[in-house]
C-alpha cells in the first residue's frame, strides 16, 4: 500500500452541480435518514484510512448547535496543488463530485464508500464546513459555505512530531433538511458496528447536548459482534466459531454461534457496507455450511442423512465480513454483492474452517448436529401441515382464506390489503372501503408471537394461515415477491396499547417470515384518528393532541363537539373511509428496515423469551412515550 498519497492521485469524474437542487438523488432523502447519511459520508473517509492501515482512532462529536465534528488520525487529505486543476487536492475533494483517491487502487486497495459521492455532497448541503488537515509537519485549514470556499487554504500551525489526520466540522443546511437534529443513538449504532467490523480500532462518540459519551473498541471484532447480537438469547455454546482467510486481495472473517431460537440471523458486510440483500458472499457461506454439516452428519450419524440448508441455519447467528477491491453492487437498493468470484472464495474458506473446527471441537459439532436434526424433523412436520392446508384449499375450490373480503379488480400493482384488528372494525372496513381495489382481512385478537414459536406452531395459527394465503408470496425459503397479490399491505389497529401490541406481533411476523415485503416498501401502518371534532356543520378528524389544540386556537372559543375514539369499532363505515382508508385523505406510514441489525436486536428484546432485557428497555424508554392509553 502506497504512503505516497498526493494531489496527482485525485481523479475527477463529474462536477458538483445538482446536489442542492436534488439532494435526494445523493443522500436518499431530506428527512432523518438523509441527515444522518451526512455523518456516514464523513465517517466513511476515516474508515477508508482504517482499511488502508493508517488510522486507529476516530472521534465523533455532536455539538450543542447540531453541527458534527469527525476527527481521525489517518494520513490527512492531501493539500498539495493538483497538476491539472491548479487547486489544492483538499479543495477538489470538497467541491467536486466524485473527486477522491478511492478511484486509484494504489491509494485505497479497499474502500467503503458505496457510490463515491463523498464529502463534497456533505459540503454542498451544509451552511458551514471546516476542514483542518494535519500532515507534512503542518496544520492546514479551509472553510466553506454551501459547497463553496470562503477563503484560501491556509497554514494555521505546526504539527506535533509526525502526527497526521483529518478533522471535519459541518453544520447541515436547514433550507435543505426537514430537521437538523442529530440522533445520538443512531450515530452510536453505526460507530459500534464499524468498531465490530474493524477489530482493534477505537471510535469515540460524544454528545455535547446531553453529556453522553461512549467508546467502542472490540479486539474480538466479529466474534464480539455475534455475542452482542445473541446477548438476549440462550446460546448453545459460549464461544462463537471464528473463521478467517485470505485469497489474493480478498480478506474474509466469519463468526458463527447457535441459540435455542428458531430464527436465522445472518448479517453480511462488504468493506463495512451492510449488504442487506445478500449476494455472492452469502451464497458461498450457505453452500459451505450446508456441505460441512452434512459431511459431518454422514460421518458421525448416518450415511443416508441429507439435511437441508434451512434446517442447518435454524437458530444460527452469523456475521460475514468481506474486505475486497472493487465490489460490484446490484439489487433494489444497490446492497447485493454481485462479484461472481467471491462465492467460490467464501465457500472454500468457510468449508475448510468448519471441517477443521468440527474435528477439533467434537462436543460443539455434536450440539450443532442435534439442533439441525431436530429442525429437520420439525420442518418435515410443518411441510405435511402445509400440504394438508393446500389440499383443503383446493377441495374448497380456491375460496379466499378466512374472512377475507376480496377486491373486484385483479391488479396487484394497485390493490391494497387491509389487515384489520377485530370483527367489528373489519365489518366497518368492509362496508366503507372501495371494493374495486381494497381487500379486507379481519384478524381475531393477538396473533402468535413468532419470535418464541417454532415454524410448525406458526403455520398452525389460523390468523397467520389466512395472511399467508391472502398475500400469496409464500414465506421464508419459498418466498417469491413476484406472486404478491397486493402492492400495499396496510396494518390497521386501534390507537391504544393493545393495538400497538398487535401491530408489533404482525411486524415481527413480516420481519421474520416475509422480510422482503418490508424491504421493498409494501408494508404500511394506517393511522386512525384520535378525535372527531364537529364545529357548526364541519367535521374534522384529528390525529394528535397537538392538532386538537391547534384547532381550538384557530376556532377561538366557537362551540366544538369533541369525540375521542377509543377504537376503530367506534367509527361507522363512512367515518372509517374518510379518516383512514380514502387514499386522498388518509395518513399511512411506510415501514422500512433502515438498520437491520437494530431491528433484529429490537425484535429480540421486545418479543423474545428473556424478560429482563425487555423490562430494562421499557424502563429506559418510558419517558419517550407521549401518551399512554389504558
- Look at residue 281 and tell me whether its pLDDT is greater than 50: yes
pLDDT of residue 505: 86
Q: What is the pLDDT of residue 402?
A: 59
**Residue 289 pLDDT level (bands cut at 50, 70, 90):** very high
Sorted by where each begins, the domain ranges of the chain are 7-216, 222-378, 400-529+574-624, 531-564
Lowest mean pLDDT among 130-134, 149-153, 300-304: 300-304
Q: CA nearest 605: which of 618, 597, 596, 614?
A: 614
Once rounded to an integer, what is the mean pLDDT over residues 424-438? 92
Q: What is the pLDDT of residues 344-355, one digit of tens each?
A: 999 999 999 999
For domain 400-529+574-624, the question of CATH label 3.40.50.670 is answered with yes
Which H/E stretch holds residue 619?
helix 611-621
Residue 452: closest CA among 290, 614, 323, 292 = 614
Indicate the SS3 state at residue 144: strand
Among 165-169, 399-403, 404-408, 579-583, the range scoring the smallest mean pLDDT is 399-403
What is the mean predicted confidence (pLDDT) over 181-195? Answer: 95
| Residue 503 and residue 491 in contact, taking contact as beta carbons nearer than 8 Å | yes
CATH topology assigned to domain 222-378: Ribosomal Protein S5; domain 2 (3.30.230)
pLDDT of 494-522, one tens digit each? 877 778 788 888 988 998 899 889 888 89
**Tens of pLDDT, residues 38-92:** 999 999 999 999 988 999 999 999 999 999 999 999 999 999 888 888 889 899 8
Average pLDDT over residues 241-262: 95
Asked which of 145-149, 200-204, 594-598 is least confident by mean pLDDT, the reply is: 594-598
Q: What pLDDT is stored for residue 332 in this prediction?
A: 61
Phi/psi for 277 (5° steps) reads -95, 10
In this predicted structure, what is the pLDDT of residue 284? 97
The secondary element (H helix, E strand) that includes residue 620 is helix 611-621
- Burial of 170 per CB tally in 10 Å (0-12, 13-18, 19+): buried
What is the DSSP secondary-structure string of 305-339?
A: ----HHHHTTTEEEEEEEE-SS--EESTTS-EE--
Q: Which range, 84-93, 159-168, 457-466, is most confident?
A: 159-168
Residue 145, pLDDT above cutoff 90: yes
Residue 624 pLDDT greater than 70, yes or no: no
pLDDT at 617 over 80: no
The reply to whether 222-378 shares the fold of 7-216 is no
CATH code 3.30.420.40 for 7-216: no
Report the distance separating Cα 357 and Cα 285, nearest Å: 15
Name the DSSP letter for residue 278.
-
- Residue 625 pLDDT: 44
Residue 114 binned pLDDT confidence (cut-offs 50, 70, 90): very low
DSSP assignment of 491-525: EE--SSHHHHHHHHHHHHHHHHH-HHHHHTT-EEE
Find, among 582, 600, 570, 594, the residue nearest to 496 by Cα.
Answer: 570
Instruction: Examine the pLDDT at 394 and tell me if it is beyond 70.
Output: no
| Other residues' Cβ atoms within 10 Å of the Cβ of residue 428 | 25
Question: Per DSSP, what are the bridge partners of residue 270?
Answer: 273, 322
Residue of 246 and 10 predicted with greater confidence: 246
Catalytic residue numbers? 421, 494, 496, 498
Residue spans of beta strands (DSSP E) within 173-295: 202-207, 212-216, 241-247, 250-258, 265-270, 273-274
Q: Which of 98-107, 165-174, 251-260, 321-330 has the lowest mean pLDDT?
A: 98-107
Region 243-261: mean pLDDT is 95
DSSP code at position 580: I
**C-alpha–C-alpha distance, residues 405 and 429, integer Å:** 10
Q: State yes or no: pLDDT of 109 exceeds 70.
A: no
Q: Which of the four pLDDT bands, split at 50, 70 and 90, describes residue 389?
A: low
What average pLDDT does range 348-374 have in this prediction? 96
Residue 116 has pLDDT above 50, yes or no: no
Give mean pLDDT, residues 210-228.
96
Residue 324 pLDDT greater than 50, yes or no? yes
Question: Residue 229 in contact with residue 601, Cβ under 8 Å?
Answer: yes
Tell me: the pLDDT tens digits for 562-582?
888 878 878 889 989 988 999
What integer pLDDT is reported at residue 399 of this predicted model? 46
Indicate the SS3 state at residue 132. Answer: strand
pLDDT of residue 117: 61
- pLDDT range class, residue 113, cuts 50, 70, 90: low
Amino acid at each position: 500500500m502506497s504512503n505516497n498519497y498526493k494531489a496527482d492521485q485525485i481523479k475527477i469524474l463529474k462536477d458538483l452541480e445538482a446536489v442542492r437542487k436534488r439532494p435526494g438523488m445523493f443522500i436518499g432523502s431530506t428527512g432523518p435518514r438523509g441527515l444522518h447519511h451526512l455523518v456516514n459520508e464523513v465517517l466513511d473517509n476515516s474508515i477508508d484510512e482504517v482499511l488502508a492501515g493508517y488510522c486507529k482512532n476516530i472521534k465523533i462529536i455532536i455539538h450543542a448547535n447540531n453541527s458534527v465534528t469527525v476527527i481521525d488520525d489517518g494520513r490527512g487529505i492531501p493539500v498539495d496543488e493538483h497538476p491539472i486543476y491548479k487547486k489544492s487536492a483538499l479543495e477538489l475533494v470538497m467541491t467536486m463530485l466524485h473527486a477522491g483517491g478511492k478511484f486509484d487502487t494504489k491509494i485505497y486497495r479497499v474502500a467503503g464508500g458505496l457510490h463515491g459521492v463523498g464529502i463534497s455532497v456533505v459540503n454542498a448541503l451544509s451552511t458551514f464546513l471546516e476542514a483542518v488537515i494535519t500532515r507534512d509537519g503542518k496544520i492546514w485549514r479551509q472553510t466553506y459555505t454551501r459547497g463553496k470556499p470562503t477563503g484560501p487554504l491556509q497554514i494555521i500551525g505546526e504539527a506535533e512530531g509526525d502526527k497526521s489526520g483529518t478533522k471535519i466540522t459541518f453544520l447541515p443546511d436547514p433550507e435543505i433538511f426537514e430537521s437538523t437534529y442529530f440522533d445520538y443513538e443512531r450515530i452510536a449504532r453505526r460507530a459500534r458496528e464499524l468498531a465490530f467490523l474493524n477489530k482493534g480500532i477505537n471510535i469515540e462518540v460524544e454528545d455535547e447536548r446531553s453529556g453522553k459519551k461512549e467508546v467502542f473498541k472490540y479486539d474480538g471484532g466479529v466474534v464480539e459482534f455475534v455475542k452482542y447480537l445473541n446477548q438476549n438469547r440462550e446460546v448453545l455454546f459460549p464461544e462463537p466459531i471464528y473463521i478467517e482467510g485470505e485469497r489474493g486481495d480478498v480478506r474474509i472473517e466469519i463468526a458463527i454461534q447457535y441459540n435455542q431460537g428458531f430464527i436465522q440471523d445472518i448479517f453480511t458486510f462488504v468493506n463495512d457496507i451492510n449488504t442487506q440483500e445478500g449476494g455472492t458472499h452469502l451464497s458461498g457461506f450457505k453452500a459451505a455450511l450446508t456441505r460441512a454439516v452434512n459431511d459431518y452428519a454422514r460421518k458421525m450419524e448416518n450415511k443416508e442423512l441429507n439435511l437441508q440448508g434451512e434446517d442447518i441455519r435454524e437458530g444460527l447467528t452469523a456475521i460475514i465480513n468481506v474486505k475486497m477491491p472493487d465490489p460490484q453492487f446490484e439489487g433494489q437498493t444497490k446492497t447485493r454483492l454481485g462479484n461472481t468470484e467471491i462465492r467460490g472464495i467464501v465457500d472454500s474458506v468457510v468449508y475448510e474452517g468448519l471441517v477443521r473446527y468440527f474435528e477439533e471441537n467434537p462436543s460443539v459439532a455434536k450440539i450443532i448436529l442435534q439442533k439441525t436434526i431436530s429442525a429437520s424433523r420439525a420442518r418435515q412436520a410443518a411441510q405435511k401441515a402445509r400440504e394438508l392446508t393446500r389440499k383443503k384449499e383446493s377441495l374448497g375450490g380456491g375460496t379466499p382464506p378466512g374472512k377475507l373480503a376480496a377486491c373486484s379488480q385483479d391488479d396487484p400493482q394497485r390493490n391494497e390489503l387491509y389487515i384489520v384488528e377485530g370483527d367489528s372494525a373489519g365489518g366497518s372496513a368492509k362496508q366503507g372501503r372501495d371494493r374495486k381495489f381494497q381487500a379486507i382481512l379481519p384478524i381475531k385478537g393477538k396473533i402468535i408471537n413468532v419470535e418464541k414459536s417454532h415454524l410448525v406452531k406458526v403455520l398452525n395459527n389460523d390468523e397467520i394461515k389466512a395472511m399467508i394465503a391472502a398475500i400469496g408470496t409464500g414465506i421464508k425459503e419459498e418466498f417469491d415477491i413476484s406472486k404478491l397479490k397486493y402492492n400495499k399491505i396496510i396494518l390497521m389497529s386501534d390507537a391504544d396499547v393493545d393495538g400497538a401490541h398487535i401491530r408489533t406481533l404482525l411486524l415481527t411476523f413480516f420481519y421474520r417470515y416475509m422480510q422482503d415485503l418490508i424491504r421493498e416498501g409494501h408494508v404500511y401502518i394506517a393511522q386512525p384518528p384520535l378525535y372527531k371534532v364537529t364545529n357548526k356543520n364541519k367535521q374534522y378528524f384529528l390525529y394528535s393532541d397537538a392538532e386538537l389544540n391547534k384547532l381550538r386556537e384557530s376556532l377561538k372559543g366557537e362551540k366544538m363537539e369533541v369525540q375521542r375514539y377509543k377504537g376503530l369499532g367506534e367509527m361507522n363505515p363512512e367515518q372509517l373511509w374518510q379518516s383512514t382508508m380514502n387514499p386522498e385523505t388518509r395518513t399511512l406510514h411506510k415501514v422500512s428496515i433502515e438498520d437491520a441489525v437494530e431491528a433484529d436486536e429490537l425484535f429480540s428484546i421486545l418479543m423474545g423469551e428473556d424478560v429482563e432485557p425487555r423490562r430494562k428497555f421499557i424502563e429506559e424508554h418510558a419517558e419517550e412515550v407521549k401518551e399512554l392509553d389504558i
